[in-house]
Structure 1
Amino acid sequence: MTQTNLVVGYLATPGGADALALAVRFARTLGAEINICIVLPPDTAPPGSVPKGGYEDVLAGQAQGWLDDALAMVPDDVVAHTHLSFDESFANGLIREALRLHATAIVVGGAGGGLVGSFTLGSVVNELLHSAPLPVAVAPRGTRDSTVARIREITCAIGQRKGSELLLKTAVRVSRAADVPLRLVSLVALDPAFGSLRGDTEAIREHALAHAERTLETARSELPADFPVTSTIANGPTVEAAVEALGWHDGDVIMVGSSRLSAPRRIFLGSTAAKMLRVLDVPMVVVPRDELKDGEDH
């Protein structure tokens, strides 16, 4: 069986600690190994201002110390490795490392400026959520303080746009591998595409219920007969209100698909997912619309 690898985009910050804590939770649940990665900018100092190689040596030495400290935070029951690389872009460097290591997902911390609420997306995370060719998991602020050891339940928020089949397939596969309950949530009632139905609340509800039932049937056909899988609809005056009303617990994870605006085999965080990020206190995993084929790079 191929070893599952997770790449952690690490910085010696509270957000970095959140990402590492979430990766540990995923690793325990999936039997995965963690790769803690720091990406440094290459030497940009003016020629002659520092001894040749001096800048990178000093920076690399400091970063290696951060990696050693991070490794010491990983519990004994989880296998972890550290990696240091150089790239003009932290996000690009992280993606390159993830592909080199055949990672299943990239895990990052949401703290860092950008959005309000539990997730504050810095420029690196924002770039990853608009360019990564593999799933990106974002840890909300404070994940490092949680005592939850494993994933409790996976929620898959699914609509009818391109890529929804892959999102559902991914959620089913991960739930089965992790042996954790799967909750399917239909977003159809929130979809502005149904403008012709606006004002007809009952028609929208019936459409959403039918979509939820079809999704549930598809998932059940891929899971053992007694596997805990449920289906519901997200409904409310706003995306934020609808998602909050679903009810959440520490240890839950939500999986969403990439926007239709994304390039093939790339992520693009859509407006619905961005609104969810603003109000949720649980980790979000964003899945590309298409699978990255073996041998492809970014």
Structure 2
Amino acid sequence: MRLLVGYLATPGGADALALAVRLARTLDAEIDICLVLARHGNLGSVVATGGYDKLLSEQAQEWLSDALAAVPADIVARTHAHFHDSFAAGLIDAAGQLDASAIVVGGSGGGLAANYTLGAVVNELLNSSPLPVVVAPRGARDSTVERVREVTCALGERPGADLLLDTAFRFARAAETPLRLVSLVALDPDSASGSAGRGHHPAVDHAFRTLDAAKKSLPTGFPVTATVVEGGTVEQAVQSLAWHDGDLIMVGSSRLGAPRRTFLGSTAAKMLRVLDVPMVVVPKAEIGAKHSGW
């Protein structure tokens, strides 16, 4: 298994690399550190044609050497400088060439508030990648956790939930970690029951049925829990869950996204605002055996 790191010589790039190391150690995977470079034609005539590419390549190799030096000795890692007109498309192209299972990026860069501040490249990836995209929260580089502790899968009733569950199960099985299934129910204060008991509200009851069916679809004896969480908002609901360093959450793509592409939906975007654990956004449909994610 290979994980592609969309690298920049920035704190966000360091967050992505640190998270990729954690995932690689957990999954016995290898890392490809990829720096996408803009072609000279996109930046005008500051430097003569050819000279610009040479200077940029030399600087890129220096950045990549520093990144490679930061990877622990027990992790197999390679570096790549990739020229492309689009940074996001360049990462997708490189991931396809390298037969990567997922793309890992840092969330810092401007856009959303709190621990994730998504930049233009990450936003574009989350709306176009045919592979799972793993977004590292700000400060992931400072964590001392070496492996994934638990996988949380946020299930809803949208098309693609079966694929999301299968991806989360395969990851948890490969990582030898427990799997936590959750359904977030945002209720108006007047309609909220104040507890996650069955039958208090149709949405809550439906969420329990969804999780029960998902849990029963997994192999007997697999370490899985399922819970429905209520809140006045999605943010309140997800914050009421217990989170630990080393956890990660998996979500599906929005129903508005194209098939076989990721698309960050409004619910996932709200969750990003309050979470400080990595988020994996899974495409809506499989794209073939060799690119079936984890």
- Give the structure-1-normalised TM-score: 0.91
Which residue of 1 is the match for residue 11 of structure 2? 14
Task: Tell me if 1:61 matches 2:54.
Answer: no
Does structure 1 retain, via aligned residues, the 8 Å contact 2:187–2:231? no
Which residue of 2 is the match for residue 168 of structure 1? 165
Which residue of 2 is the match for residue 70 of structure 1? 67
- Give the structure-2-normalised TM-score: 0.92
Identity %: 61
User: Could you give the per-residue CA deviations for residues 127-163 of structure 1, whole angstroms, max 9, x where no partner exists?
Assistant: 0001101100000000000000000000000101111
Does structure 1 retain, via aligned residues, the 8 Å contact 2:192–2:231? no
Classify 1:295/1:164 alpha carbon distance in 2 versus 1 (closer, same or farther; 3 Å). closer
Which residue of 1 is the match for residue 196 of structure 2? none
Does structure 1 retain, via aligned residues, the 8 Å contact 2:192–2:201? no
Which residue of 2 is the match for residue 128 of structure 1? 125
Secondary structure, in 3 states, of the residue corresponding to 1:235? strand
Classify 1:295/1:241 alpha carbon distance in 2 versus 1 (closer, same or farther; 3 Å). closer
1:61 deviation in Å? 0.4
Does structure 2 retain, via aligned residues, the 8 Å contact 1:91–1:125? yes
Which residue of 2 is the match for residue 159 of structure 1? 156
Which residue of 1 is the match for residue 100 of structure 2? 103
Task: Tell me if 1:148 matches 2:145.
Answer: yes
Question: For residues 50 and 257 of structure 1, what CA distance do their matches in structure 2 show?
Answer: 44
Does structure 1 retain, via aligned residues, the 8 Å contact 2:235–2:270? yes
Corresponding letter in the other structure for 1:121 = L
Does structure 2 retain, via aligned residues, the 8 Å contact 1:198–1:204? no
Which residue of 2 is the match for residue 206 of structure 1? 205
Does structure 2 retain, via aligned residues, the 8 Å contact 1:239–1:275? yes
Gaps of 5+ in 2: 194-198
Question: For residues 203 and 90 of structure 2, what CA distance do their matches in structure 1 show?
Answer: 44
Question: For residues 186 and 214 of structure 2, what CA distance do their matches in structure 1 show?
Answer: 16
Corresponding letter in the other structure for 2:119 = G
Q: Of 79, 88, 91, which aligns to 2:88?
A: 91
Secondary structure, in 3 states, of the residue corresponding to 1:97? helix
Which residue of 2 is the match for residue 180 of structure 1? 177
1:198 deviation in Å? 9.1
Number of positions where the alignment pairs a residue of Structure 1 with one of Structure 2: 283
Question: For residues 150 and 110 of structure 1, what CA distance do their matches in structure 2 show?
Answer: 20
Does structure 2 retain, via aligned residues, the 8 Å contact 1:158–1:168? yes
Question: For residues 13 and 153 of structure 2, what CA distance do their matches in structure 1 show?
Answer: 25
User: Could you give the per-residue CA deviations for residues 71-109 of structure 1, whole angstroms, max 9, x where no partner exists?
Assistant: 000000100000111111100000000011111100000
User: Could you give the per-residue CA deviations for residues 7-43 of structure 1, whole angstroms, max 9, x where no partner exists?
Assistant: 0000000000000000000000000000000000001
Does structure 1 retain, via aligned residues, the 8 Å contact 2:132–2:281? yes
Which residue of 1 is the match for residue 222 of structure 2? 227
Classify 1:28/1:269 alpha carbon distance in 2 versus 1 (closer, same or farther; 3 Å). same
Which residue of 1 is the match for residue 215 of structure 2? 216
Gaps of 5+ in 1: none
Does structure 2 retain, via aligned residues, the 8 Å contact 1:86–1:93? yes
User: Could you give the per-residue CA deviations for residues 195-252 of structure 1, whole angstroms, max 9, x where no partner exists?
Assistant: xx99994332222212211111112x3xxx4331100012111000000101100000
Corresponding letter in the other structure for 1:231 = A
